[in-house]
Homo-oligomer: A and B are copies of this chain.
Amino acid sequence: MTPSCSLFGIKTGLIHQGEEILPLLLLGLKKQELTLIDGDILVIAESALATAEGRLVGLTGVTPSKEANELAIQYELDPRLAEIVIRESDEIIGGIPGFLLCTSNGNLLPNAGVDGSNAPEGMVSLLPADPNMSAKKIRDDIFQLTGASVAVLVIDSRTHPMRYGCSGVAIGCSGIPSVLDERGKKDLFGRELKVTRRAIADNIASAAELLMGEADEGVPVVLVRGLEIPVGNYEGVEQIAAEECLFMGIISKNAQNRCQ
């Protein structure tokens, strides 16, 4: 049996602050004559979830700290944006004009996920408060409402070192393992694979982004059907320890030099 899968973009229309995302999602599926089945994977853009969760901050009420003003000058940012980025970050590691590189909850991400795109004028959106928990709640609610055992991913769009353009990463995951550990499996020549962990949640995130776009397309959800990934009680995006990360050993040596 040769593997195959299908992806369907789901239109929900504009999602407003404080609105429940699930009814809009189910309505979108119905309009497209799609019925959820066991094993389906629903991929939700973090910007849509963040808006629904009311994760918007107005810039006008924000007073920049001294550190925010310094970062704003150094990296050509709105000082109020810099202030919100500081509040959302565990650490600011460095930057280039327009962006600060931050860590937040074990993730490495530009501007700590604070984003002015697809937010109303004068506002910025923060990342969803707890994307793993939101994914689990939507998955549980879908099971209650439809009886289908699906997986739910919440995804973001990120740049990667020396890659031009953004691609998808999973920031919330419920119902599938985020990473498949294939150590112990054999390669084509029958030898045991040494290091092979497949970031399937990130791969699904990137696949879904192909249909989402990032502008005014209004396709915040993608249904992925046919992947032979076991759906069950898996929770969370598996994280890597900084000392296991090929990049962080090098990046972190410079962390203490920031803002000098």
Contacts and interface: CB of A to CB of B under 8 A. Distances in A.
Interface string A200-232: 101111110111011111110000000100000
A27 interface: no
B247 A254 contact: no
Contacts of A110: 246
Interface stretch (A1-9, A18-26, A60-68, A131-139): A1-9
Interface in A93-122: 93-96, 98-99, 101, 103, 106-108, 110, 116-121
Interface in A132-186: 157, 159-169, 178-180, 182, 185-186
This chain: copies in complex: 2
A182 B215 contact: yes
Contact of A216 (B185, B206, B239): B185
Given A160-B160, A251-B251, A207 B199 contact: no
Size category of the binding interface on chain A:
35 or more
B164 A119 contact: no
26 contacts: A4-B7, A4-B9, A5-B7, A101-B246, A117-B187, A118-B187, A118-B188, A118-B189, A120-B189, A160-B202, A162-B239, A163-B199, A163-B202, A165-B179, A165-B180, A165-B198, A165-B199, A167-B203, A168-B206, A185-B215, A187-B214, A187-B216, A198-B214, A203-B207, A207-B210, A251-B251
Given A117-B191, A186-B216, A202-B206, 8 more contacts: A2-B9, A5-B210, A116-B194, A161-B246, A162-B248, A164-B240, A200-B210, A251-B254
